[in-house]
Amino acid sequence: MSKLSRQFKVPDELANLYDFANTLDVRHFTHHGVQHPQSDELASAKEFAVWMRQRGLLLADARVSPAMLATALELRSLIRDYLQRDPPERSKNRDSVRALNKVLKLFPLLATARDDGGMVLKPARDDALAGLSSIIAELYDGSRNGTLDRLKMCASDECRRVFFDRSKPATRRWCMSSLCGNRMKTRNYRERQRNAE
């Protein structure tokens, strides 16, 4: 769990998925006169390994190859594409679902019995990408218990950050109403004023 997932009170069972989706920062707005810098925490195999290690998703001696990084970036892109849609629309886009299913096959999971009598999904892989299978397990568990519907992408084209919707009716559209929401509402208001003239 990262500082951001803690700060925004993302449930532990979705924290790695949230963090993974947000390793790509495409925000391109100006706030208080400062342009937000875009970044990618997974810009190289080395950075990807560091990110995985920080979250306990990478075995100490595991090596990440450029091909593994490419697989991880494809997974991230498809997860972000899936999360950008409204929850009821996610399964309706057949191309998106087909592409996501294709990459999910690379991360098989095994059901394992726990000491407490419960079950848990564990990675079937035993290489450096096994940790991403844990993220797939979060995706699966979240879809099964309904919490994945609260993981959304900010509706602002200048932001596109994934956020956890903590509102009671689960109808938030922006990661932060005070920033992205205000910016969008102000822009829409000004456009309506121009069109009314």
pLDDT tens digits, residue range 144-156?
A: 999 999 999 999 8
Strands 34-35 and 109-113: unpaired
**Rounded CA gap, 117 and 7, in Å?**
33
Digit-coded pLDDT (tens) for 47-88: 999 999 999 999 778 899 999 999 999 999 999 999 999 999
Terminal CA-CA length for the chain:
50
Report the interhelical angle of 130-145 vs 66-83 (nearest 10°): 10
Token duo for residue 194: 């121009």
What global pTM score does this model have?
0.86
Tell me what pLDDT residue 92 has: 93
Other residues' Cβ atoms within 10 Å of the Cβ of residue 23: 19
- Token output for 62: 């595991």
Q: In whole angstroms, what is the distance from residue 107 CA to residue 111 CA?
A: 13
Over residues 20-27, the mean pLDDT reads 93
| Average pLDDT along the chain | 88
Task: In whole angstroms, give the CA distance from residue 3 to residue 33.
Answer: 25
Q: What are phi and psi of 33, to 5 degrees?
A: 80, 5
For 90-128, the pLDDT digits (tens) are 999 999 999 999 999 999 999 999 999 999 888 998 899
Alpha carbon of 147 to those of 2, 10, 33, 86, 155: distances in Å?
Answer: 19, 10, 36, 13, 19
Question: Would you state the torsion angle of the CA atoms of residues 135, 136, 137, 141, taken in this order, to the nearest 10 degrees?
Answer: 100
Q: Which pair of structure tokens corresponds to residue 41? A: 């925490």
Determine contact, residues 79/20, Cβ cutoff 8 Å: yes
What whole-number distance in Å separates Cα of residue 74 and Cα of residue 71? 5
For residue 23, give the nearest of 44, 3, 41, 1 by alpha carbon: 41
